[in-house]
Amino acid sequence: MAVQSFRDLRVWQAGVELVVGVYELTQMFPKSEVYGLSSQLQRAAVSVPANIAEGHTRSSLKEYLHFLSIARSSLAEIETYLELVQRLSYTTPERTQPLLDLTISIHRQLIALRNSLSTRLGEDPLPYGSTTS
């Protein structure tokens, strides 16, 4: 299937799934965190599919790669916030693990997409990151 729109990208679809999961999780946080960790976690989650979409619509591959990098950075933020909310006992590891697993999957997909685009640009795909998280 040819990619006609960013909506066709599995990585974007997974990003949207991550946003939904994060919003569901943050509904259980204390009300005192509405403007704290809840907000930060939600913003980082929304950033992932939003930057994938924005990058996909840019006119150059270099710009696209830049936005994929921002999406990847947002995933690192999400992982950090999920660790914090566990340590603060706002949630349990059982509730955060599926989201952490999803961030790892999205990270791998972003690396694969980045490497594919880098190859088209004639860049070395390895510097972007070969780690799994």
**Which residues constitute the domain of residue 50?**
6-128
The answer to whether position 1 is within a domain reads no
Total domain count, the chain? 1
The answer to whether position 70 is within a domain reads yes
Domain with residue 108: its CATH number is: 1.20.1440.60
Would you give the distance in Å from CA 111 to the centre of its chain?
12
Q: Residue 37 and residue 124: Cα distance in Å, rounded?
A: 37
pLDDT in tens, 89-127: 999 999 999 999 999 999 999 999 999 988 877 765 544
Q: Residue 75 and residue 104: Cα distance in Å, rounded?
A: 8
pLDDT in tens, 8-43: 999 999 999 999 999 999 999 999 998 999 999 999
**What is the model's pLDDT at position 128?**
42
**Residue 62, CA distances (Å) to 6, 45, 74, 118 in order:** 17, 23, 19, 9
- Say which amino acid occupies 44: A
The answer to whether position 133 is within a domain reads no
Q: What is the pTM of this model?
A: 0.88
User: E strands, 47-115, where?
Assistant: none
pLDDT in tens, 43-64: 999 999 999 999 999 989 999 9
